[in-house]
Every structure is written in structure tokens, then in C-alpha cells.
């Protein structure tokens, strides 16, 4: 178990945000940091983070295939400690999967996978965003009061960083969407110009040619346009374009 202080942990989180190119990189780094803090006598633990997207849970980070499978199985059962933590924004503690009765189908699956106990802790995010950290232990009663408090504390400390990571991810997505839209419009405008020159037609007629080709070939308009522009750029002959 690491002897680092809260300030050390926060400093590491800040550094993690700076060096994480993707949202998932941040989450994987966070779970690795948390693993370093856990007492060695708790045995092997595995971690997963579930994010609620468009009202659907998605396992966005997992420290092992087992953790990912356990998280995703809750989606199939439509219930479980993680989903309860997400929906109700509460800490959920499963002390012993063999005797837990709240989610019988899921806990039976967990027990069969040799998971003895589970702790699920929500992140306090903004707006409709929901996320929860799930920690799985091989032995029953693995999480005592001190361990639960430590996991809650580190999750609280990570909440601000997670909010920032989400904002950055949304910004990157918006920027990528805008770039794709601009590139698409550029290709379409160029393709229209090419068709007008090749066919001595109006802009409206050139657009109609693109639309006709798109419908006839069942290919998106922007792809038809991009292909035409590429064919001209590559020196291929394209004297007519009638779909």
C-alpha cells in the first residue's frame, strides 16, 4: 500500500489529465493509481468504471477482462450494485456474493466467477452524466470500513478531475464533428464545381447529379463527393458524372 498523501494523489490526478489524450486513458490511469493505494492483504482486486451515456450504461474502463465481463453482465441483467450506484448515486456494498439477495441473478454470476465481494461508488458529475467506480475482490468481506472510506475519499477527490476530463472529451468530440462537417462541405462544394465544369450545367443541376448518384449507389452524398474529388486529384478521367 502506498504512503502518499491526499495532496500527492491530487497532484497525480492533475498530471494524469495533462498527459491523457483520451477520456479512457484518464480512467485507466485513475484505477491504476487507486490500485496502488489498496492494502496488500486484501488480495487481488480488479476495477471498472461505468459511465451512463444516453441513459445506457457503458463500461468505459476495466483493469481486467473479468472486471469488464462482470460490469457488462449487469447490463444484461438490467440490475446490479453498479447500476444501483449509478441510478441512486449511493455507495453499494456487497459483502458476500454467495449470500447477497438483492440481485440474485447477477450475484450468482459474480460468485461463479470467484468474486466474493464488491463495492460500487458513484462519482458526483454534472448534469445528466453518471459514473461509478466498481471494485471487485476475490474474497468475501474484503472491504472493511477503512477500505470503503478510502475508496470513497479517493473517488471524491477524482470527481473534479473526471468532470474536467469529460468536458475535454466533449470538446474534442465537438471539434472532430465540426472538422468532419467542414471537410464534407468542402468536398461537396468542390464536387459541384467539378460537375458544373464537366457538364456545362448549373449549380442546382450539379447538386441533383450528386444526389442521384448517392441514391442510386446507396452511398452517402459526402462520400460520393469525396470520391469524385479524389478521382480528379489523382488524374483519373472523369468527363461525365451521370450517376
Do the domain assignments include residue 225?
Answer: yes
pLDDT bucket at 217, cuts 50 / 70 / 90: confident
What SS3 state is found at 50?
strand
Same domain? For 117 and 203 the reply is no
What residue numbers bound the domain in which 191 lies?
A: 179-233
Using a 10 angstrom Cβ sphere, with 0-12 exposed, 13-18 middle and 19 or more buried, the burial of residue 142 is buried
pLDDT at res. 173: 57
Same domain? For 111 and 164 the reply is yes
Do the domain assignments include residue 119?
Answer: yes
Do the domain assignments include residue 1?
Answer: no
Radius of gyration of the chain (CA): 26
Same domain? For 144 and 186 the reply is no
Specify the number of domains making up the chain.
2
Q: Which long-range contacts (CB under 8 A, 24 or more apart) does 195-199 make?
A: 195/228, 195/241, 198/238, 198/239, 198/240, 198/241, 199/240, 199/241
Q: Could you tell me how far CA 170 lies from the centroid of its own chain? A: 11
pLDDT at res. 243: 47
Do the domain assignments include residue 34?
Answer: yes
Same domain? For 222 and 137 the reply is no
Do the domain assignments include residue 229?
Answer: yes
Same domain? For 145 and 184 the reply is no
- Asked if residue 196 has pLDDT above 80, the reply is yes
Same domain? For 125 and 67 the reply is yes
Q: How many CB atoms lie within 10 A of CB 19?
A: 9
Same domain? For 211 and 137 the reply is no
pLDDT at res. 179: 63
pLDDT at res. 240: 42
Same domain? For 138 and 184 the reply is no
Q: What is the pLDDT of residues 142-189, one digit of tens each?
A: 999 999 998 898 888 877 777 776 676 565 655 555 566 556 677 888
69: which residues sit within 8 A by CB, 6+ positions away?
113
Cell of 193: 464545381
Of the residues 139, 170, 201, which one is the last residue of a structural domain?
A: 170
CA–CA separation, 140 and 147 (whole Å): 14
Same domain? For 145 and 210 the reply is no
- 123 pairs with which residues across the strands? 131
Amino acid at each position: 500500500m502506498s504512503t502518499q498523501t491526499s495532496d500527492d494523489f491530487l497532484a497525480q490526478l492533475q498530471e494524469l489529465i495533462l498527459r491523457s489524450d483520451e477520456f479512457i486513458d484518464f480512467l485507466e490511469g485513475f484505477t491504476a493509481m487507486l490500485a496502488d493505494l489498496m492494502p496488500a492483504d486484501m488480495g487481488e482486486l480488479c476495477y471498472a468504471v461505468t459511465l451512463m451515456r444516453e441513459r445506457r450504461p457503458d463500461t468505459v474502463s476495466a483493469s481486467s477482462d473479468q472486471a469488464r465481463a462482470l460490469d457488462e453482465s449487469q447490463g444484461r441483467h438490467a440490475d446490479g450494485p453498479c447500476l444501483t450506484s449509478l441510478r441512486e448515486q449511493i455507495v453499494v456494498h456487497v459483502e458476500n456474493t454467495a449470500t447477497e439477495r438483492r440481485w440474485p441473478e447477477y450475484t450468482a454470476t459474480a460468485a461463479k466467477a470467484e468474486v466474493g465481494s464488491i463495492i460500487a461508488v458513484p462519482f458526483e458529475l454534472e448534469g445528466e452524466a453518471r459514473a461509478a467506480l466498481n471494485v471487485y475482490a476475490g474474497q468475501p468481506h474484503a472491504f472493511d470500513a477503512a477500505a470503503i472510506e478510502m475508496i470513497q475519499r479517493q473517488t471524491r477527490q477524482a470527481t473534479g478531475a473526471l468532470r474536467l476530463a469529460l468536458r475535454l472529451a466533449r470538446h474534442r468530440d465537438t471539434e472532430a464533428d465540426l472538422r468532419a462537417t467542414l471537410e464534407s462541405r468542402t468536398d461537396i462544394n468542390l464536387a459541384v464545381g467539378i460537375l458544373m465544369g464537366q457538364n456545362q450545367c448549373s449549380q442546382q443541376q450539379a447538386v441533383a447529379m450528386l444526389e442521384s448518384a448517392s441514391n442510386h449507389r446507396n452511398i452517402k452524398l459526402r462520400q460520393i463527393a469525396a470520391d469524385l474529388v479524389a478521382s480528379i486529384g489523382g488524374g483519373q478521367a472523369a468527363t461525365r458524372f451521370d450517376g
